[in-house]
Structure 1
Amino acid sequence: MHVRRRTVLAGGAATLLAGCTPTGARISSTSASPRLVPLRLDAGHVMKVTVCLRPFRPAGPRLEAERFGETTVVHNYGHGGAGWSLGWGCAAEAAALARSGGASEFAVVGAGVIGLTTALRLIETGAKVTIYAEEFPAETRSARATGVWSPSSRIALADAAPTGFAERWEGWARASYATHLRMVGLLGDPVEFLPQYEVSDGEPGGGPPAAHDFLHIHRRVRDLQPPWRQMAAEENPFAPRETATGNGMVFNVASYADRLARLFMLRGGRMIRRSFPDRTAVLALPEAVIVNCMGYGAKAIWSDAGMVPVRGQIGWLIPQPESRYSLYYGGVNAISRRDGVVIQYYGPNEDFGYGDPNETVDRAETERALAILRQVYAT
């Protein structure tokens, strides 16, 4: 048996329903088997296709202060595919750096998840905070994220991460996870746990090795989530294909981002739409302390030549509340979130999308991914 476990996977929710299922769906008839309603995976249910450039830095996220004359800039960007997962832990560290000089008014540049969480952590200390951003939360690259707990997803390269990085990362991950847990069950379900199924594609190997040695340190926090297990044949809804299952944390990004923005405004924060053509425009802001949460935009503005875009595309299907689970098969993941079923092809290895700055939608890629997933339900 070969199951390619990906740390980027998250769960979906198995609905214990005895309702009708499409002809040809592989649903076990035993009483112990979950009654999974197959996902509707035809192109007619695609409501949009989006592309996100993950801001990858070989050395990992940049979290440090830098002086520009009388202005202090605290950098908090470059989280790769782990922005939603690590946001709260990194925000706490960035807020502490910003507050260390005694200032009481702060500018946060960027309204993605890193900007929102950092602004909230600052405002919770009694500070006056203004977010300046060209794109508001629903328009940012963060809004196009997969939405799963993936704290080590393209977080750094093994040979470029500085000494002590793994320990620092673990602190971010554990602090963030604790905050995510406090959002489980809140109105709009910004965070929830959903069962997931990883189905073997029968291939003996995991594809060609990646050319880049990405740092894999998820095992340091594997105690945070329930363990996975191999499903017995009598309970496996995808038999005879071998299947592993577990429960994973999923972020319903639309409701989560909306909640963060609302909390920020309710606590006295301001959000101003403004574009920044260059660094001079950022440094012209009136606040003496600026927190840079620009994500991939920091590459040009702050001359971070080492930052690499990692292209990721998601096809969004109309929400399917009757099929609340996640399915991984053949290099494709489907996550039935409340704001839509996200379909993502991960490619043959982690090099897929690396260094690709193209944000043009490739609908054919999504249609191929749907065709791959449909095979798992075929008789």
Structure 2
Amino acid sequence: MGDDDVVVVGSGVIGLTTAVVLAERGRRVRVWAKEPAEGTTSAVAGGLWWPYRIEPDDLVGAWSLHTLDVYRELAHDGGRTGVRMVEGVQAQTRLDELGPWAARVPGLRAATPEECAGPALWARLPLIDMPTHLAWLRERLVAAGGVVQERTVGGLGEAFAEAPVVVNCSGIGARTLVPDDDVRPVRGQLVIVENPGVSTWYGRVDATSHEVTYLLPQPGGLILGGTSREGDWSTVPDPVEAADIVRRCARVRPEVAGARVIEHRVGLRPGRSAVRLERETAGGGVLVHNYGHGGAGVTVAWGCAQEAARLATAAS
């Protein structure tokens, strides 16, 4: 075990991105994960960049904007990175309802009535094909000398036995691993259908219920969503909920109603009252927590990774 050794716990988008940043700064990084990235909640995510149900407001803006800048660059090689810049509308949303970050998103503006009825915003935003992006992150990590090891972690002390610095990116697993009772599942269900010709994304959040409505055109099909049920641990798709998702999306794009269903997906977002991104002394070494990103892990991944790496490598 050397001074440059780091163990990152968790192989979702937060863990892999953090590991890449650390490895490219010269650290010897091992990612520990109980399942491959393809089996994580990140692989189920719709993949649209948008600060969605994540706190604290005063930090999320900077994390999101840094991540946006990275994705805009990665979109130049979208076939490999899985990142594309796609036009779309966020319905039932006004600019003055958003934080200061919104003024710094290139091209973000009020939608025209032709683009969307009612108050809405138009933007050309990153839309990430998560299976492709996660595989690319893993390849980039390996190219920087990092290693991904599939193993179940019973406690953070196991990691300190092999590295002086541990970064906890365990997502929903932090509830028992830390343990942290503030971490809770926010269940999301999706339906993937054959795309009948939808080329733009659409999103709408109902703040009064668990329903969210979105259409996200991805290479593997059109993703229809969704739900946001707090405290629900079930990962089994609900057929009634799936039918309701398709009905809601068909009100936006009627051609969706007859589209062939390819797949049903369920993921448990790692909800928390606020992201925990902080450093502490533990296990005789340095422990950095980077979890609790809710439904916006993709949106803040690079900003949080940069801060986590700074905390992990800062002098004591």
* TM-score category of the 2 structures, normalised to the smaller one: 0.5 to 0.7
> Is 1:154 matched up with 2:30?
no
Q: Tell me the distance in 1 between the aligned counterparts of 2:35 and 2:221.
A: 22
| Structure 2 residue identity aligned to 1:121 | V
More contact order relative to length (CA 8 Å, sep ≥ 6): 1
% identical aligned pairs: 23
Segments of structure 2 that go 5 or more residues without pairing to the other structure are: 207-211, 256-316
Q: Tell me the distance in 1 between the aligned counterparts of 2:74 and 2:240.
A: 36
Q: Please report how far the alpha carbon of residue 198 of structure 1 lies from its aligned counterpart in structure 2 after TM superposition.
A: 5.4
Residue 200 of structure 2 corresponds to which residue in structure 1? Answer: 325
> Residues 376 and 122 from structure 1, CA distance in 2 versus in 1: closer, same or farther, beyond 3 angstroms?
closer
Residue 104 of structure 1 corresponds to which residue in structure 2? Answer: 4
Residue 358 of structure 1 corresponds to which residue in structure 2? Answer: 234
Query: 1:327·1:335 contact (CA, 8 Å) conserved in 2?
Result: yes
> Is 1:174 matched up with 2:65?
yes
Q: Tell me the distance in 2 between the aligned counterparts of 1:199 and 1:170.
A: 20
Query: What does residue range 1-379 of structure 1 map to in structure 2 within 5 Å?
Result: 103-151=3-51, 153-156=52-55, 161=56, 166=58, 168-188=59-79, 190-197=82-89, 218-232=99-113, 235=114, 244=120, 245-284=122-161, 286-318=162-194, 320=195, 322-328=197-203, 331-346=212-227, 352-377=228-253
Q: Tell me the distance in 2 between the aligned counterparts of 1:243 and 1:338.
A: 29
Query: 1:343·1:366 contact (CA, 8 Å) conserved in 2?
Result: no
> Residues 371 and 126 from structure 1, CA distance in 2 versus in 1: closer, same or farther, beyond 3 angstroms?
same
Tell me which protein shows more helix as a share of its residues.
Answer: 2
TM-score normalised according to structure 1 size: 0.57
RMSD over equivalenced CA pairs, Å: 2.8
Segments of structure 1 that go 5 or more residues without pairing to the other structure are: 1-70, 72-101, 201-215, 347-351
Q: Please report how far the alpha carbon of residue 199 of structure 1 lies from its aligned counterpart in structure 2 after TM superposition.
A: 6.3
Higher alpha-carbon Rg: 1
| Structure 2 residue identity aligned to 1:106 | V
> Residues 251 and 172 from structure 1, CA distance in 2 versus in 1: closer, same or farther, beyond 3 angstroms?
same
Query: 2:72·2:85 contact (CA, 8 Å) conserved in 1?
Result: no
SS of residue in 2 equivalent to 1:148: coil
The total of aligned residue pairs comes to: 243
Q: Please report how far the alpha carbon of residue 196 of structure 1 lies from its aligned counterpart in structure 2 after TM superposition.
A: 1.5
Q: Please report how far the alpha carbon of residue 116 of structure 1 lies from its aligned counterpart in structure 2 after TM superposition.
A: 0.6
Q: In the TM superposition, what whole-angstrom CA distance separates every residue of 1:279-302 from its partner, at most 9, and x where no partner exists?
A: 444444x11211111111011010
TM-score normalised according to structure 2 size: 0.68
Q: Please report how far the alpha carbon of residue 323 of structure 1 lies from its aligned counterpart in structure 2 after TM superposition.
A: 2.6
